[in-house]
Amino acid sequence: MDFLSVIPPIVAVALAIITKRVLLSLFVSIWVGGLIAAGGNPFEAVGITFTWMKDVMVDPWNARFLVMTALLGCGAAFMFKTGGSQGLINVLEKKLTTKKRVQFLSYFLGLIIFFNDYVNSVIVGNASKDISAKHKISREKLSYVLDSTAAPIATIGPVSDWIGFQVSLIAAAFASIGIVGLEPYFTFLQSIPWNFYAILCLLAVPMIIAGKDFGPMAIAEERAQKTGKLIPDGSTPLSSVDQDLGEPYKKKGSVWNFILPLAALISVGIWGLWYVGGGAEGKSIMDALADTDVSIALTWGAFAMTAVGLILGLIQGMGFKDAEETLLGGVRTMLPALMIIILAWSIGTVTSELGTAEYVVGATEGWMTAGLLPFLVFIIAMFISFATGTSWGTMSILTPIAIPMAYNFGGEPLIPIIIGAIFAGAIFGDHVSPISDTTVMASIFAESDHIAHVNTQAPYALVPASITGVLYLVYSFIGSSVVLLAAGIVIQFFLLRYLGNRHAKKYMEADSNIA
């Protein structure tokens, strides 16, 4: 496939940035893909477009994911209506007396919920969005904290569905080239220090919270602090529980109305990941996670969350009519997200049908050497993930290609480095792509305008990404991931400090000129 295969994702991203209308941009880009597939026939392109959209919706995994997303909205709705969200604020507000403390709450919660990035966004967003609003923290900043902890911690945390998925890809790649001396999970553990972007990204969040904002994020924070406007004028939050559900049924609800539904979500979700993967049949935790079906397990968890919220509401005296309206309102809060997710999946189908990833890999693999391989794999993973909006898809595409290349170029020692580079690039693309499902989830549960979230997060993601690229370029001269990572952390600290101070200086100069 030729260069035409990269046009649809480019159109999607460009239109989303220019028009700030994600749904329109995604649909047009899918139609452009259909136009290419139809050989330029615009009417046939319409038919292909809706066929692709139908196919992603009837896929069993996708269908369950859509149900799960709707149920998460219902669970969050019951938290709000029963007063659980307000109860949490009442408990925390005495200790969370500053803006920075509130942001660190979101950050530390994000580190604790390491087993799934979607659940991470649900829990952390619901736990912190109201108290963040009270301290005039912009929705862009909250969605950044959510997004920049969820995926990175899921890919390097001790146990997660991400890790099970990653290990399964590594095992399949090993089998394809006949490697029998390496254990896939141990190789994955060796790759963690080489996943420079994920680690630097996780450290960038507290550095920025404790320091100063810069770029579009600083403007967003200044707007929120001065005017109280949590989103930009003319923007629309991707979801708003308050607007969709009205006033809480219980204004002075208990914090247990927040804790118990989340406990049900977490406990049933973790148990489901283990059980569906065959844990009850004697498999180890990691083997069970490698074989599990995330869509089934997390749907069970989301249903348990909604059921507990419903029971708590009924116990408090909520009538069946109010309960039904809360359920419908929860689904309604998720409708924009559900549409975006369907269209984003359809873009994935477009890129698969047109061979976008194969074109990118094929156009670059001829340049590769052992010294350049980690850097080029990182760059290719960044581009594929950015263009397709899926880090898991990027991992699926590159792992079977890059591991054999690493083995041929540098033997077994190069494999963990390449695995780290694949995962690093995949997560970066997730952070800066407006068509990424994890980015959409962060916007939903922070109640942020989606394009505003992408625009403000991109400069923050580029800092660890740029440092990561340099570290991969010099790895062949230094060779130690510990030394490289330590240098990267120091460079990142001073670079973020410089950028924050520079913006603060310009801001003060502008104020003095106005005065």
Residues 46 and 101 occupy one common structural domain: no
3-state SS class at 128: helix
Residues 325 and 376 occupy one common structural domain: yes
Cβ–Cβ under 8 Å, residues 113 and 409: no
> Per-residue pLDDT tens for 363-411?
766 666 778 889 989 998 898 888 777 787 778 777 877 888 888 788 8
**Tokens 């190789």, residue located:** 187
**Structural domain that includes position 238:** 60-514
Look up residue 417 and give its two tokens: 């480095």
**Tokens 């410089």, residue located:** 498
Q: Report the chain's C-alpha Rg in angstroms.
A: 23
Residues 33 and 149 occupy one common structural domain: no
SS (H, E, C) 1-44: CCHHHHHHHHHHHHHHHHHCCHHHHHHHHHHHHHHHHCCCCHHH
> Per-residue pLDDT tens for 452-466?
999 999 999 999 999
> Which of 66-75, 101-110, 218-227 shows the lowest mean pLDDT across its residues?
66-75
Residues 107 and 216 occupy one common structural domain: yes
Which pLDDT belongs to residue 513?
57
Q: Mean pLDDT over residues 148-177, rounded?
A: 78
Cβ–Cβ under 8 Å, residues 481 and 468: no
Look up residue 498 and give its two tokens: 């410089």
- The answer on pLDDT for 65 being more than 80 is no
pLDDT band of 435, cuts 50, 70, 90:
confident
The one-letter code for the residue type at 148 is S
What b/e string do you get for 393-423 counting C-beta neighbours within 10 Å, with b at 16 or more? bbbbbbbebbbbbbbeebeeebbbbbbbbbb
Torsion on CA atoms 202, 334, 291, 430, rounded to nearest 10: -40
Helices (H), 365-436: 373-388, 391-410, 414-432
Q: Mean pLDDT over residues 408-433, rounded?
A: 91
Nearest in space to 69 (alpha carbons), one of 322, 289, 336, 271: 336
> Per-residue pLDDT tens for 170-188?
887 888 778 877 878 788 8
- The answer on pLDDT for 515 being more than 50 is no
The one-letter code for the residue type at 181 is G
Q: What is the largest CA-CA distance in the chain?
A: 72
Residues 22 and 130 occupy one common structural domain: no
Distance CA 415, CA 405 (A): 9
Distance CA 129, CA 469 (A): 34
Q: Mean pLDDT over residues 439-449, rounded?
A: 87
Cβ–Cβ under 8 Å, residues 25 and 12: yes
Distance CA 295, CA 316 (A): 32
Cβ–Cβ under 8 Å, residues 62 and 56: yes
Is 17 or 331 the better-scoring residue by pLDDT?
331
Nearest in space to 115 (alpha carbons), one of 343, 297, 329: 297
Residues 67 and 28 occupy one common structural domain: no
Residues 155 and 171 occupy one common structural domain: yes
Residues 121 and 38 occupy one common structural domain: no
Q: How many structural domains compose the chain? A: 2
Residues 15 and 101 occupy one common structural domain: no
Is 259 or 396 the better-scoring residue by pLDDT?
259
What percent of the chain lies above the pLDDT cut of 70? 90
> Per-residue pLDDT tens for 465-505?
999 999 999 998 898 999 999 999 999 999 999 999 998 88
- The answer on pLDDT for 4 being more than 60 is yes
Residues 434 and 496 occupy one common structural domain: yes
- How high does pLDDT run on average in the chain? 84
Cβ–Cβ under 8 Å, residues 394 and 426: yes
> Per-residue pLDDT tens for 331-354?
887 777 678 778 877 876 787 788
**Tokens 């440092």, residue located:** 467
Phi, psi of 111 (to 5 degrees): -70, -35
Helix (H) or strand (E) holding 188: helix 184-191
- The total of other beta-carbon atoms located within 10 Å of residue 321's CB is 8
Residues 248 and 353 occupy one common structural domain: yes
Cβ–Cβ under 8 Å, residues 407 and 177: yes
End-to-end CA distance of the chain: 59
pLDDT band of 202, cuts 50, 70, 90:
very high
Highest mean pLDDT among 91-100, 140-149, 386-395: 140-149
**Tokens 């394809």, residue located:** 176
DSSP secondary structure of 438-501: HHHHHHHHHT--HHHHHHHHHHHHHHHHHHHHHHHHHHHHH--HHHHHHHHHHHHHHHHHHHHH
- The answer on pLDDT for 151 being more than 90 is no
Distance CA 169, CA 31 (A): 32
Tallying the residues shown for the chain, one arrives at: 515
Residues 51 and 138 occupy one common structural domain: no
- The total of other beta-carbon atoms located within 10 Å of residue 339's CB is 14
